[in-house]
Chains A and B, each alone.
Chain A
Amino acid sequence: MERLSPQSEPRQPGPIRLAEPDAKPEIQQTVRPERIIIQAKDFSFYYGSKTGVEKITMDIEAGSVTAIIGPSGCGKSTFLRCINRMNDLIPNTQADGLLTVNGQNVYDKNTNLVNLRQQVGMVFQKPNPFAKSIYDNVAYGPRLQGIRRRSDLDAIVEQCLRDAALWEEVKEDLSKSALALSGGQQQRLCIARTLANKPKVILMDEPCSALDPLATARIEELIASLKGTYTIVIVTHNMQQAARVSDRTAFFCLGKLIEYGRTDVLFTNPAKKETEDYITGRFG
């Protein structure tokens, strides 16, 4: 595990409605500035007149695993889907503030969506492999990038399946339909499919919510093994999972970032009362 820098950097979040209206959120921003890959500054996102997230300010360090927790409807997924602009599919939305990935403004007019989404991969709540063979699923991204040579594709597919810890289970028949795999295998295939794009960031939107404990454990192992090579942002409802896999945790509530800091600190010694209430189960 990397060492975290000791100095904390207080930020300016919006007012909190729950309690202590004047209180500043406790931000234990232990991120080293030179390693920041995703940066949000007063970032807000609106669905029409409804607020999705409001004035989010947080930095995410490259190569780390960041968990986002919070009650339902608090804007965790909204924020996650803003990072690779998947919210564009919803009509009448509007973004405000600054959100950068690798120094590039995500919501800039000139942002190349294809490049952005290749850099920022995403794994969804429900496994959603294409109704194609395992091979074609993994090769979908590289083919989009124009890789056509069979030997190159073969190498990428094998490497990604190995990285996603799926190779040993499927190497016998890569032409098998992806839909014939079990749920856990499908989710690992989706991760392999994302890896094939060689992304810098992988966003995971509750990747284990549709899986049984065993498959969940395997995905968690996989996340641990991918850490360092990829920056992972994971939204989860499962606080044990957040505690197990992440380096840092952000707690969202009602569209606002309440607390963000090292996972061990946040779970053992939360600075905010809402956080404490949520992780102890008294609220949420």
Chain B
Amino acid sequence: MLWRQIKNIVFTVFCSGSVLLLAAALLFFLVPMIWKGSQAVFFRKTVEFDKMQMELFRRGHPAVLEKITAQTNQARQPALALLDHFSRGVDTTLLSKEARSAYQQFGRHLRYREVSDEEYTRLREEAKDIRDAFLKAVETTDKTEAESFLDLVDAQQNNPSFQDSPFRIVFSLSKDYRQILQDIDLSRRSEYAAELDIVKTEMRKLFGPLPGESVPPLAQDRFGATRWDVAQKHLRYLIYQTKWVPSEQEDHRLIARQIRRDDPEEGIFGKTELAPLFSMVEQNLAAMLQPRPTIYWQYFLDDSTAGHYFGGAGPEILGTLLLTVLSMCFAVPLGVLSAAYLVEYAADGIITRVIRTCINTLAGVPSIVYGLFGLAFFVLMVGKPCILSASLTLGLLVLPVIIRASEEAIRAVPQSYKEASLALGAGKFRTFLTVTLPAAGPGILTGIILSLSRAAGETAPILFAGAVALGPIPNVGLHPKWLFQPTRALSYGCYDITVGDRLAMQVPHNQFGMVMTLILLVLLLNLAAIFLRWRMSRKLQGI
């Protein structure tokens, strides 16, 4: 008696435990995924987001945007000016370029003034000397040498020949450079240049192209941080540098240390003119970007820029819906009719048993095999990877599931229902159509629900058969041309972003957004089918 009770308890605990484990695993997996994915829709946008929306999607009010842009530009101005000034000292190409262009303009200026040839040659020679002295001062890494060259330049500062001419800019450049020399360790200039590159990149990521730069060709480089979380990330990258130092323990391993770039002792820019930039950006980032909470519901409609950097998952959702619905259009009639044949018409012989075994085996074939079959058969048949071949492949994938479920459902219809119809003089086919099929409806729908989720979520079958990461949005209409275009799809999009070149790291919100969209879409399709089934069985029960 006691033993039986113990067995009972063990059984109960084991069963409920496994159910709980499953539920917990689902929660553990789904909740973070949906939480992260929801950040594609709910986040704090910055002014850069508004700019992007205006430029790419023609959305927003130009006047409001202009006002905010002016405010943020004003806030960014000191930091950008500081960066510009400092980079002149480090990135000497800019200075020498300006000096050279001043010299050329001076020539043109002299021609314009119509001075005599001797005068022209003399002044040109003089200017050339000054220019060369400046270039040497800029190029050298020895501070005293540079200063002596600058002295040569400055000596000519009050030369009346260069007053009111374009060449006088060289003297102001020289003055600037002399000031820069005070703060900068010329011997470390190449080191500065490398770090400055990183700083500039991060500044571009934060605020878009720096003043004076041309518009980048890629949309993803045209705007700064459109989201506050991304801005915070880039702020961190801007402020901290990673330094590898030997561990203090015996093993001499290197450990990474995060050091502020403006740290007075260790930071590379600690003792330079650039040092205030970092705290300036850190403290005024909110004013520079003006973050505001937003609900970007257009995520589910918008097209995206290349690589899903900006924009939404609209074409992917459309593509997944098209593929799913089309594959169901192929698989459901075929599956239900096959099941009806197997149950109602085929005699239970060796052939039916072989067919049944084949169907069961097909249901377990890995999806990549279906993908390769789709490539080898449908794609070659249609001529190219497209929506038609992809949905045919998906239809084939879910066909065994639908046949199995429909078979069970049709078999489960009570014999008395069929007898009632037959006894009234109805034929076999009519009985199936008017009595058996409606009664088996809920069961068949269960199979359809299962296969819907599978068709919507599978990547491998459409990998070769018609899914693309970038491409035109199918123009769904009466003309069947769209059937012969490839399409984007959520499942393939998730895969593509994940394996894409550093993309997942840069736009995790879009990656998880797509995953969340897929989960929600499957959930929605399931709910619709479950609702339909509920209505149907209610009708069957006569409530």
Contacts and interface: CB of A to CB of B under 8 A. Distances in A.
Nearest to A124: B416
| Closest CB pairs A-B (n = 6) | A179-B542, A177-B542, A180-B542, A122-B423, A118-B425, A128-B416
Contact of B426 (A122, A126, A144): A144
A130 B419 contact: no
A124 B421 CA distance: 12
B175 interface: no
Interface in B484-543: 539-543
B424 interface: yes
Interface string B401-443: 0000000000000111111111111110010001100110000
B424 A141 contact: yes
B347 A91 contact: yes
Contacts of A122: 419, 423
Interface residues of B, number: 25
A91 B417 CA distance: 18
Interface of B is mostly: helix
Given A128-B419, A130-B434, A130-B435, 11 more contacts: A113-B425, A117-B425, A121-B424, A122-B419, A124-B416, A128-B417, A130-B421, A131-B541, A144-B424, A177-B543, A180-B543
Contact of B424 (A126, A178, A181, A197): A197
Interface string A97-118: 0000000000000000111011
26 contacts: A84-B423, A86-B419, A89-B418, A89-B419, A89-B422, A117-B424, A121-B424, A124-B419, A126-B416, A128-B417, A130-B420, A130-B421, A131-B439, A131-B540, A131-B542, A140-B424, A140-B434, A141-B424, A144-B430, A145-B425, A177-B539, A177-B543, A179-B541, A190-B420, A194-B423, A197-B424
B427 A114 contact: yes
Contacts of B543: 177, 180
B542 A86 contact: no
A248 interface: no
A138 to B, nearest CB: 10
B425 A114 contact: yes
Nearest to A91: B347
Contact of B542 (A117, A126, A178): A178
Contacts of B414: 128
Interface of B: 347, 414-427, 430, 434-435, 438-439, 539-543
Contacts of B424: 117-118, 121, 140-141, 144, 193-194, 197
Contacts of A197: 424-425
Interface in A147-202: 176-181, 190, 193-194, 197
Contacts of B417: 128, 130
Interface of A: 84, 86, 89, 91, 113-115, 117-118, 121-122, 124, 126, 128-131, 140-141, 144-145, 176-181, 190, 193-194, 197
Contacts of A121: 423-424
A121 B420 CA distance: 10
B436 to A, nearest CB: 11
A86 B420 contact: no
Contacts of A176: 542
Contacts of A194: 423-424
User: Which has the most chain B C-beta neighbours within 10 Å: A130, A181, A193?
Assistant: A130
Nearest to B540: A131
Contact of A141 (B419, B425, B539, B542): B425
Contacts of A124: 416, 419-420, 423
Contacts of B540: 131, 179
Nearest to B543: A180
Contacts of B418: 89
B422 A86 contact: yes
B410 to A, nearest CB: 15
B440 to A, nearest CB: 11
A199 to B, nearest CB: 9
B535 to A, nearest CB: 13
A229 B368 CA distance: 68
A184 B435 CA distance: 22
Contacts of A128: 414, 416-417, 419-420
A122 B422 CA distance: 10
A144 B418 CA distance: 15
B423 A131 contact: no
Contacts of A131: 438-439, 539-542
A89 B415 CA distance: 10
A205 to B, nearest CB: 10
Contact of A86 (B423, B427, B539): B423
A193 to B, nearest CB: 7
A128 B430 CA distance: 17
Contacts of A113: 425
Contacts of A141: 424-425
Contact of B425 (A91, A130, A144, A180): A144
Nearest to B423: A122
Nearest to B538: A177
B64 to A, nearest CB: 58
A190 B416 CA distance: 12
A7 to B, nearest CB: 36
Nearest to A193: B424
Contacts of A181: 542
A236 to B, nearest CB: 18
A117 B422 contact: yes
Contacts of A178: 542
Contacts of B542: 131, 176-181
Nearest to B441: A131
Contacts of A91: 347
Nearest to B426: A144
B245 to A, nearest CB: 78
B420 A117 contact: no
A118 B424 CA distance: 6
Nearest to A113: B425
Nearest to B418: A89
User: Which has the most chain A C-beta neighbours within 10 Å: B415, B422, B430, B438?
Assistant: B422
Contacts of B426: 114, 140, 144
Nearest to B537: A131
